[in-house]
Copies of this chain bind each other. A is one copy, B any other.
Amino acid sequence: MSEVETVGPARREGRGRDAGGKARRERRSSGGGIHQLPFKTLRNPFKPVEILSADQIEAIHEASLDLLETVGLEVLHGETLDIFERAGAKVDRSTLRIRPDRGLILEAVAKAPAEFSLRARNPERDLVIGGDHLVFDATGGPAFVSDLDRGRRAGNEADMKDYIRLVHMLNVLHQEGGTGVEPTDLPAETRHLDVYESILTLTDKSWHCWGIGAFRVRDAIEMACIAYPTTREELMERPAVITIINSNSPMKFDGPMGEGLCELARNGQATVVTPFTLCGAMSPVTLAGALAQQNAEALFMAALTQLVRPGAPVVYGGFTSNVDMRSGAPAFGTPEYTRAAFASGQLARRCKLPYRSSNVNASNTVDVQAAYESSMSLWGTILGGVNLLAHAAGWLEGGLTASYEKLILDCEMLQLMRETLMPIPTDKASLGLDAIAEVGPGGHFFGVGHTLERFETAFYRPMLSDWRNFETWTDAGAVDGTRRANAIWKELLRQYQEPAMDPAIREELAAYVARRKKEIESGKY
């Protein structure tokens, strides 16, 4: 038993002082006091966890190439069939099956850049994907949205916009994730235009477009050219458009995704090629089998980008998790997910590709499960050497729902991870032996110069955590973390200011959207 640890002098001193609590209450009540870290691009100093030996990496890698040569992919996209046929792959037109040999795949993949830059509308928010760079990308895709006040509801335009505003406000997020809330109240064929217009006007961060169908990619490219502003030629040199391209696991690649991939690659824009390999459902029940299949599908898509345009930026996506074998429901943030995240990083680096993974969980509400499953995901991916962390904030319920409170919770966890990557300086002043001598045995460090010179910035200051003592916290209403998150996103929305944009550009964007809506409504995609 450790009595000193729990009732020692620091605890007495610490718990007895509540000047900070008072200051924090004042800061909160003043309305402007959400404390965040500033926007900053990140590099990961840690050597990735190696769960696979070198031999095991090779075994999975070679198995994936065997899979491509023997099973191959069924491809429902004519252009992809043509491209692989021209490259010399075995293509069976009657079964739509492409069985590329390993030489073709590896030669193509070798042309992809190990890292690349991605422009944002605000040049200060340009990103690098690959190497030891680490990018936090907000959630993309959920059909539902939820918060404590209004509950769970279908995605809609108003929430889609508020969500983008929050992604803009949350400094730890580097990138909008491709529609945190799907606006299901807008027409399906043209809603991507409304989303792009919202993204490009409500935030100046990097963003994800939609990858389903060539026309949605073309619209993204056109609107990026208007908004940044830039030309298509410049965009080709310095990409700004990115999205996730999924295979239809197992071993299938569909038409709309094929169109999206080819259109992006042709224009020198970035694809994040991601199989969706849930062990026991769309992939073998074994992690090694799912990883082999993931690697096969990812390398197939990565090779395709390079056959379309050598040097086109492409990111290796890992999304291997498992299902609950008693219900068939997807499970996320499991030990299987974490181990697959470590292994996927090793496989991506084996092929010198940037690595994408995700912050996932399967909880139905913003509770302890949501937090610990997300933590499992964050540590698995970040210690696994992820470069692009998709769905990094806001994902709930296996990705069906974008949650406002989860967005805040995740950003707190991302801030914690970000600060964990910071080095420990060990210069003479940091070692502080003089301060220890000055304080002497049994003293305390609150008042010494060494502390006073540094205390304002010495430690991470949280956005969501409440460190007041139990009595003060209870007197203030015993508000738990999820309810505090609720107050924080509302305050951030109150503080939100739209980033400046030239009115002429704003008009041009609106005109583009209006014109394209008419065209699409008349069948011109």
Contacts and interface: CB of A to CB of B under 8 A. Distances in A.
A2 B25 CA distance: 40
Contacts of A4: 246-248, 257, 276
A376 B465 CA distance: 13
A19 interface: yes
A364 B479 CA distance: 10
Nearest to A17: B328
A170 interface: no
A450 interface: yes
A1 B140 contact: yes
A193 interface: no
Contacts of A369: 464-466, 480-481
A519 B429 CA distance: 53
A511 interface: no
A6 B142 contact: yes
A478 interface: yes
A7 B70 CA distance: 29
A431 interface: yes
Contacts of A67: 433, 436
A3 interface: yes
A416 to B, nearest CB: 6
Given A285-B445, A362-B467, A423 B481 contact: no
Given A325-B455, A371-B375, A459-B279, A432 B478 contact: no
A282 to B, nearest CB: 5
Nearest to A410: B372
A334 interface: yes
A441 B250 contact: yes
A31 interface: no
A412 B372 contact: yes
13 contacts: A1-B210, A2-B390, A14-B327, A24-B326, A24-B327, A46-B51, A47-B47, A74-B440, A283-B445, A284-B436, A323-B459, A363-B465, A365-B480
